[in-house]
Copies of this chain bind each other. A is one copy, B any other.
Amino acid sequence: MLNFDFYNPTRIAFGKGKVAEIDKLVPAEARVLIVYGGSSAKKNGTLDEVKAALGGRYVEEFSGVEPNPTYETLIKAVAQIKANRLDYLLAVGGGSVIDGTKFVAAAVYAEGDPWEILLQRGANVKQAMPYGTVLTLPATGSEMNDGSVISRTETASGLHDKLYFTSEHVFPQFSVLDPTKTYTLPPRQLANGVVDAYTHIMEQYLTYPVEARVQDRFAEGLLQTLIEIGPKILQNPQDYDLQANFMWVATLALNGLIGSGVPSDWATHMIGHEITALHGLDHAQTLAIILPTMLSLRRDAKRAKLLQYAERVWHISEGTEDARIEAAIQNTRAFFESLSVPTRLSAYNISADAIPALLAQLESHGMVKLGEHQDVTLDKSREVLEASI
């Protein structure tokens, strides 16, 4: 097992009716900015419920955070906070709204250009405004971690940037996880959430063995649970227990626990980010495209873990090692397809012509040595993209 540090102070309030507990979780004298995305939080009543729970506190709203939250939008929230002396944020939404709120929380205290937070990957964040979240879309795990991914459409380089930062200062103080809030999600968002959580687990699990037995068992348990419930949840989005398990899996998939003491990959994510930045695909769609190809083309370096994955997650114990590995990768692809998330670039009308621009983006962002062995060079990324057509 590798040495590690684990720290996660986010308080989780999980279950039906937990939104009401916001009244206890937010300081009584707080001046609150509720941050949310589009109209769904309004339509499904969650916004009203949150406001009711906040009681007599002074509350303002900031809406319009995009599915890939942009610097250009979020910086307006920073201005609103400063103008009206707000001091507590409440994110109501999915990973995009929460990621955006993290950036706002840090940017309020930024000295100089807030975009430096992204360029320095969070190293310059010295404090952040406290905030809580009400999760309405399980997927990214942002509700219980210190990471955030922000896009910028107008940058000095002329590129469309999608960059991440992390900082212990931006852990949510609390997150309300009420599985009933996901009942009205469209199937595409539910399916995306399953793919996103699945890939988060794989990025931390499917590398090479380091005798981290607990982390492996936990990761395998999360993957098995997603395989069990993924297709069912699309058929029965109002099944409480299915949604509860989905929500808790997605949170645990990226709260630091299963990634502690093990190597991690993240090459799939980095390439995926560039596809979203240039072509606007949903984050999860990019993962569904890249992950199976990535596993396939790096099967030698990932051999031991692929065999373990085949046996423990997919219960494949017959056939040669190569056949078992191939079957496990095919099962992964078929699982994503069974959720109606296509796993080929061509299904999204992206052809080989797009690859040079994607590689240029990777290069400009310094993504030239990715993966647990830092051996996913631009050449390897090209191979992966070519094989993903």
Residues of A near any B CB (own CB < 8 A): 1-18, 211-214, 217-218, 220-222, 224-225, 228-229, 241, 244-245, 248-249, 252, 257, 260-261
Contact = CB atoms under 8 A, between A and B. Distances in A.
28 contacts: A1-B241, A1-B248, A3-B15, A3-B16, A3-B17, A3-B18, A4-B14, A4-B15, A5-B12, A5-B13, A6-B12, A7-B10, A8-B8, A8-B9, A9-B9, A12-B260, A14-B260, A15-B261, A211-B244, A211-B245, A213-B229, A214-B249, A214-B252, A217-B218, A217-B220, A217-B222, A217-B224, A220-B221
A209 to B, nearest CB: 10
A16 B5 CA distance: 12
Contacts of A15: 1-4, 261
B1 A244 contact: yes
B229 A225 contact: no
Given A221-B214, A221-B221, A5 B11 contact: yes
Contacts of A18: 3
A249 B261 CA distance: 13
A260 B251 CA distance: 14
A244 B12 CA distance: 28
Contacts of A10: 7
Contacts of A229: 213
A211 B245 CA distance: 8
Contacts of A213: 225, 228-229, 245
**Secondary structure of the A contact surface, majority rule:** mixed
A261 B248 contact: yes
**A-B pairs with lowest CB-CB distance, top 5:** A217-B221, A3-B15, A211-B241, A9-B9, A6-B12
A107 B244 CA distance: 39
A7 B11 contact: yes
B214 A225 contact: yes
Nearest to A8: B8
Nearest to A5: B13
B245 A1 contact: yes
A8 B12 CA distance: 10
A7 B17 contact: no
A6 B14 contact: yes
A35 to B, nearest CB: 23
Given A213-B228, A217-B222, 6 more contacts: A2-B15, A3-B17, A5-B11, A8-B8, A8-B9, A12-B260
Nearest to A229: B213
Given A213-B229, A228-B213, A12 B7 contact: yes
Contacts of A220: 217, 221
Nearest to A210: B241
Given A6-B11, A11-B6, A245 B214 contact: yes
A83 to B, nearest CB: 33
A220 B229 CA distance: 18
A222 B245 CA distance: 19
Contacts of A217: 217-218, 220-222, 224-225
Contacts of A14: 1, 3-6, 260-261
A113 to B, nearest CB: 30
A10 B8 CA distance: 8
Contacts of A228: 213
Contacts of A252: 214
Contacts of A218: 217-218, 221
